[in-house]
Structure 1
Amino acid sequence: MRSFKRLKQRLKSGVFNGMLAPVLKRFKPETILESRGDRPLQMTFDDQLKALIFFHLEEYSSGRELLQAFEQNDFAKECVAPPHGIKKSAFFEAINTRGLEQLSEVFNHLVKEAAGVIPTEYANLGNLIAIDGSLIDAVLSMEWANYQSGAKKAKAHIGFDINRGIPRKIYLTDGNEGERTFVDKIIDKGETAVMDRGYQCNAHFDAWQAAEKHFVCRIREKTRKTVIRENAVNPDSIIFYDNVVLLGTKDINQTEKELRLVGYRVDSKNYWIATSRQDLTAEEVAQVYKLRWNIETFFGWWKRHLKVYHLIARSEYGLLVQLLGGLITYLLLTIYCRERHQEPVSIARVRELRNQMANDAAAELQKQRTRKRRSSYKIVRLKLIRRNAKT
């Protein structure tokens, strides 16, 4: 990409800088991104972070589209792009090989920042973390993204804080990687993992209880169960089953530790929920599992409005950089909407933010042009005065 001529004074965007304040003003990464050779970096970490955030805010579908904006969009050119421009090869090399450690630090910082401004919901149900995996369509050149013959996919494993409505942890693997092993990495002691049937595993149920990590997990209806003791069930409730059981077949795959099994019916459909939570009512267990849908809502919004699965990276490293950029953008929007408008993030506020960014750029450009015209007028007038003085 050819370099472009910049204005002598770069544009300033109050709304964009305001959204970035939790990072630029209140955080400095412990690890500094440095050049690996004698040449200075064409794109610093701040440049990389702003580029990723702008990419997601504007819903671009490719890296080429972002680079084109660096040339043609006044706001992108003056407020986002590196001061001296950046070539296409340098941009994609940076995305695929640099910044992951720093972005991870920023993400963890913003999770804590968001937790401080977002009110906690469902506190009576405990600390609830929904866990799910999401497949990402890859291309055949992404050899690491194994899935099946003739297709490549990656998988993002995400822990979602249900109480605050924000993503909390992310791991990236190929599409074939199992999901259960990430539960231990995502939840801490005393927290409750909320999961669908894909996470059902009797050995893991025992291990999580031993580690004092709670779970609420839907299981298959035909799972063998041995009743240890029965709990009373209200006949007027949606609950039709509430017992302490052992799951699986004895001497083969049966759980060693007792757990609770709750069955409830909604719209003529039965749900079987295994849990280690003995402190909740059966109705509350059903409510907790229903809240698992919040992570699906998040995935849908994140993919649709921030275009996080439009690939600008092909390496595993670069794809995680891109995904972290998308999560950071979501957290910044969440904090911005809470601090400025006391409301959850919404596409209406995102569109408003885009318009304000464009208006900031247009207003600043107009000011600079006005100053330039006034300066030119003063110079011409001064020349006329001097000419008249000579005559």
Structure 2
Amino acid sequence: ANANATRPWQIYADLAQHLIAMARPLYASEPFGVDLDATVYAFDATTIDLCLSVYPWAPFRSAKAAIKLHTLLDLRGSIPSFIHITDGKTHEVNILDDLIIEPGAYYLMDRGYLDFARLHRLHATSAFFVTRAKSNTKFKRRYSQPVDRTTSNVICDQTGVLPLFYASKDYPATLRRIVVKDDAGERIIFLTNNFSLKPEMIAALYKQRWQVELFFKWIKQHLRIKTFLGTSENAVKTQIWIAVCTYVLIAIVKKRLHLPHSLYEILQILSLTMFETTPINQLLTPPSGNFDDENQPKQMSLL
């Protein structure tokens, strides 16, 4: 706790960025569930609740404190490429201003990031976004693409503009509106600035956004950042960045050693053998097998 309080958290943040730069090329050709030759990111935030009396520097509500972990996840390998930690009051959409937009990349976001001025910034940078419309989002259709409802769950594929004054001022370009029906029969409305992909592909892309939710779940459950060793802002950020470093290190080990294990299995093995002198590659590499039983020592009977 004392070390976390005194050592600058920026040291671990810089280490994490260095590890991320090592990990992402290893997963550059990794499939992620959609056959698309492009970089695809999922952007979201998760809230970690804290006690207001112990963490007064992280206000959230009148009687509760919290921090938010904003993450841009590269879906190829589920490697975080951008992480930003704020107090609980900071709205997720504001962090879009801190992103360095990559032309040609796809950004998947839920309806909490539906800010047309910021989405137009993505569009102006030649990047693509896929998000969901809110229930009160107004859309003026100009024309529709034909869809076959008998062979797909796509209800309509429309091109149009935003009719309201402020929305059209923030996003003056045309938008694509796709309505699909999920397995439960409910309508889901997507908004995107990509007009070349099939509507089924747009829906499949957005479905992959849940990988960022799995990343948050993995970090919280397996790297134990729900309980912090220190109470200062520096201590909390230090522990979070150490957890991110651990996650990326395990991802690097998995790829370099060509391991069939999941990240959780690798973490469990390492946590149980942390103080052993066995080399990591021997701990994680499965035995070659095919031993000759005649050359193996016989086990003596106890009876």
What's the counterpart of residue 284 of structure 2?
A: none
1:96 pairs with 2:5: yes
Query: Given that residues 262 and 274 in structure 1 are in contact (C-alpha distance below 8 angstroms), is that contact kept between their aligned partners in structure 2?
Result: yes
What's the counterpart of residue 49 of structure 1?
A: none
What's the counterpart of residue 356 of structure 1?
A: 273
What's the counterpart of residue 107 of structure 1?
A: 16
1:312 pairs with 2:229: yes
Q: Stretches of 4+ moved more than 4 A in 1?
A: none
| Equivalent of residue 120 in structure 1, options 30, 34, 54 | 30
Q: Give the CA deviation at 1:202.
A: 2.1
Query: Given that residues 334 and 345 in structure 1 are in contact (C-alpha distance below 8 angstroms), is that contact kept between their aligned partners in structure 2?
Result: no
Query: Given that residues 129 and 187 in structure 1 are in contact (C-alpha distance below 8 angstroms), is that contact kept between their aligned partners in structure 2?
Result: no
Query: Given that residues 138 and 164 in structure 2 are in contact (C-alpha distance below 8 angstroms), is that contact kept between their aligned partners in structure 1?
Result: no
Q: Give the CA deviation at 1:347.
A: 2.1
Mapped partners of 2:9, 2:275: distance in 1 = 29
* Consecutive unaligned residues in structure 2, runs of 5 or more: 279-303
Structure 1 counterpart SS, 2:206: helix
Determine which structure has more spread, i.e. the larger CA radius of gyration: 1
Which structure shows the bigger proportion of residues in helix conformation?
A: 1
1:233 pairs with 2:147: yes
Equivalent positions of 1:1-391 (< 5 A) are 91-92=1-2, 94-118=3-27, 119-121=29-31, 122=34, 124=36, 126-140=38-52, 141-190=54-103, 191-235=105-149, 236-247=151-162, 249-254=163-168, 255-266=171-182, 267-343=184-260, 345-360=262-277
What's the counterpart of residue 293 of structure 2?
A: none
Query: Given that residues 58 and 87 in structure 2 are in contact (C-alpha distance below 8 angstroms), is that contact kept between their aligned partners in structure 1?
Result: yes
Q: Give the CA deviation at 1:330.
A: 0.3
Equivalent AA in structure 1 for residue 244 of structure 2: L
Equivalent AA in structure 1 for residue 253 of structure 2: Y
Mapped partners of 1:209, 1:240: distance in 2 = 25
Equivalent AA in structure 2 for residue 242 of structure 1: D
> Which moved further from structure 2: 227-236 or 268-277?
227-236
Query: Given that residues 97 and 118 in structure 2 are in contact (C-alpha distance below 8 angstroms), is that contact kept between their aligned partners in structure 1?
Result: no
Mapped partners of 2:161, 2:78: distance in 1 = 33
Query: Given that residues 154 and 199 in structure 2 are in contact (C-alpha distance below 8 angstroms), is that contact kept between their aligned partners in structure 1?
Result: yes
Aligned residues: CA RMSD: 2.0
The count of corresponding residues between Structure 1 and Structure 2 is 269
Query: Given that residues 221 and 272 in structure 1 are in contact (C-alpha distance below 8 angstroms), is that contact kept between their aligned partners in structure 2?
Result: no
Mapped partners of 2:37, 2:201: distance in 1 = 7
Cα deviation per residue 1:175-195 (whole Å; 9 max; x = unaligned)?
Answer: 111111222423523222111
TM-score, L = length of structure 2? 0.82
Q: Structure 1 residues 355 and 205, CA, compared in 2 at 3 Å: closer, same or farther?
A: closer
Query: Given that residues 132 and 158 in structure 1 are in contact (C-alpha distance below 8 angstroms), is that contact kept between their aligned partners in structure 2?
Result: yes
